[in-house]
Amino acid sequence: MTLGEIKQAIMFQTDNDRDDLGDFMPFLLNYINEGYDRLLHVWKKKHVQPGTDYPPLTFDADQPVLPLWSHNAIVDWATYMIYRNGNGMKQQRGMAYRSSFQEIRARLVGDGQAGNKFINIPV
């Protein structure tokens, strides 16, 4: 997914909360890159940083350096972040997205360690 596609997916997931668009739009790119950083850290033990092989997503054509199957977790993280500061109903709605993010994150941990040469040493 590109950054543009990630944004579109977030807008789809939060469509029933269009009235709050002005509240979360200034923070949306931060939420996206935070989710990207959390996934990248468990997969490659690296952080998203400008000037590295893993720069933050800035332009709509940018793509996360993660397996394609994990890109939707970034969408789920950003959606969770949007809902976490809302009223109780919104917070409850956001927990499903956080849970989905955690599931994909856990798969990335296992995928990132697949190349570990020392299989008998816990990581």
- Domain membership of residue 123 (yes or no) is no
- Domain membership of residue 75 (yes or no) is yes
Report pLDDT digits (tens) over 57-113. 999 999 999 999 999 999 999 999 998 877 888 888 899 999 999 999 999 987 655
Domain holding 40, by residue range, is 3-112
pTM: 0.84
Give the list of residues 6+ apart from residue 93 with CB closer than 8 angstroms, or none: 83
- Domain membership of residue 29 (yes or no) is yes
Number of domains in the chain: 1
Report pLDDT digits (tens) over 92-104. 889 999 999 999 9
CA gap 103, 95 in Å, rounded: 12
- Domain membership of residue 120 (yes or no) is no
Report pLDDT digits (tens) over 24-52. 888 999 999 999 999 999 999 999 999 99
- Domain membership of residue 117 (yes or no) is no
- Domain membership of residue 55 (yes or no) is yes
